[in-house]
Amino acid sequence: MSVKELQINVANITVGDFYAKTTWGKDDYGVSILQVNEGGTINFNADKAVFDGSTNVAGGVFGSGSWGTLNITANELSIDGNICGTYGTLTGIQHADAFDLHITAGNLVMAGDINAGSMGDGYSKHDRTTNIAVNVTDTAELTGDINVYERGNIAISSDTMNWEGSATVNKGTLDISKVNNLTLTGVTANADEAVLKVTNGGTLAVNENGKLGINDLKTAGTYKIVSVDESSTANFWKDENLAYDRTSMFAEVKQNNRDYDVVYKELQDLSADEKEAAKEQIVAAAGGTSLAATSVIGSIVTDSGAVAKSAPGAKAFVAAVTGSADITSAQAAAHINAAVQMGETSGTSANAVSVASNVTGTVTGRMSLNAAPIAEVGGKGRSLYEDKSGAGIWAQYVHGKDKVRDMAMAGGSASYDSKYNGFVLGTDFAKIGKFQSGIAFTYGSGDTTSVGGAAYSRNDFDFWGVSLYGSMRNSDTNLIADIGYSRSDSDVEQNNFGSLLTANPKTDTITLGIKGEKLYQYDNLQVMPYVGLRYLSVDTGSYSSDIGGLAAFNYAPERQNIWLLPVGVSLTYENITDNGWKIRPNVDLSYMWAMGDTDSSMTVGLPGTTAADRLGYTIMDKGSFIGKVGLEAEKGHMTYGVSYSYQKGSDAKSNKWFVDLKYSF
Cα–Cα distances (Å) from 661 to 201, 400, 575, 639, in that order, read: 88, 18, 19, 6
Sign of CA dihedral 333, 336, 341, 347: positive
CA distance 424 to 659: 10
8 Å CB contact between 312 and 551: yes
Sign of CA dihedral 234, 238, 239, 241: negative
State the pTM of this model.
0.81
Given a cut of 90, whether residue 604 has pLDDT beyond it is yes
For residue range 361-374, list pLDDT tens digits in order.
888 888 888 766 55
CA distance 224 to 202: 18
Phi/psi for 287 (5° steps) reads: 120, -10
Question: Which residues does 665 contact at the CB level (< 8 Å), separation at least 6?
Answer: 380, 390, 391, 392, 637
**Sheet with 83-85, side-by-side order of all strands:** 34-36, 62-64, 83-85, 114-116, 146-148, 167-170, 196-199, 221-228, 259-266, 249-255
For residue range 410-429, list pLDDT tens digits in order.
999 999 999 999 999 999 88
- Give me the DSSP letters along 60-118: -SEEESSSEEEEEEEEEEEEES-EEES-TT-EEE--S-EEEEEEEEEEEEEES-EEESB
Please state at what angle helix 312-322 crosses helix 272-285, rounded to 10 degrees. Answer: 70
Cα–Cα distances (Å) from 200 to 168, 227, 506, in that order, read: 11, 12, 68
For residue range 285-322, list pLDDT tens digits in order.
899 999 999 999 999 999 999 999 999 999 999 999 99
CA distance 357 to 652: 15
More reliable by pLDDT, 390 or 559: 559
Q: Where are the beta strands (DSSP E) in 410-522?
A: 412-428, 435-450, 456-474, 477-496, 499-503, 506-518, 520-522
Q: Lowest-pLDDT range, 39-43, 204-208, 251-255?
A: 251-255
Burial, 510: exposed, middle or buried (Cβ in 10 Å; 0-12, 13-18, 19+)? middle
pLDDT band with cut points at 50, 70 and 90 for residue 5: very low
For residue range 454-471, list pLDDT tens digits in order.
999 999 999 999 999 999
First to last CA, the chain: 85
For residue range 79-132, list pLDDT tens digits in order.
999 999 988 777 776 777 899 999 999 999 999 999 999 888 777 878 889 999
- Give me the DSSP letters along 267-317: GGG--HHHHHHHHHHHHHHTTGGG-S-HHHHHHHHHTHHHHHHH-HHHHHH
What pLDDT, on a 0 to 100 scale, did the predictor assign at position 387? Answer: 52
Cα–Cα distances (Å) from 326 to 17, 147, 158, 225, 295, in that order, read: 29, 26, 11, 19, 24
What pLDDT, on a 0 to 100 scale, did the predictor assign at position 388? Answer: 53
Cα–Cα distances (Å) from 553 to 13, 93, 368, 504, 548, in that order, read: 57, 67, 46, 12, 13
What pLDDT, on a 0 to 100 scale, did the predictor assign at position 379? Answer: 41
| Percentage of the chain exceeding pLDDT 70 | 95
What pairs with residue 437 in β-bridges? 470
CA distance 387 to 380: 11
For residue range 196-247, list pLDDT tens digits in order.
999 999 999 999 988 898 877 667 889 999 999 999 999 999 877 888 888 9
pLDDT band with cut points at 50, 70 and 90 for residue 69: very high
What pLDDT, on a 0 to 100 scale, did the predictor assign at position 381? Answer: 41
What pLDDT, on a 0 to 100 scale, did the predictor assign at position 475? Answer: 82
Span 174-190, average pLDDT: 93
| Percentage of the chain exceeding pLDDT 90 | 67
CA distance 269 to 66: 57
What pLDDT, on a 0 to 100 scale, did the predictor assign at position 372? Answer: 62
Given a cut of 90, whether residue 557 has pLDDT beyond it is yes
Q: Which of 80, 86, 640 is nearest to 379 (CA)?
A: 640
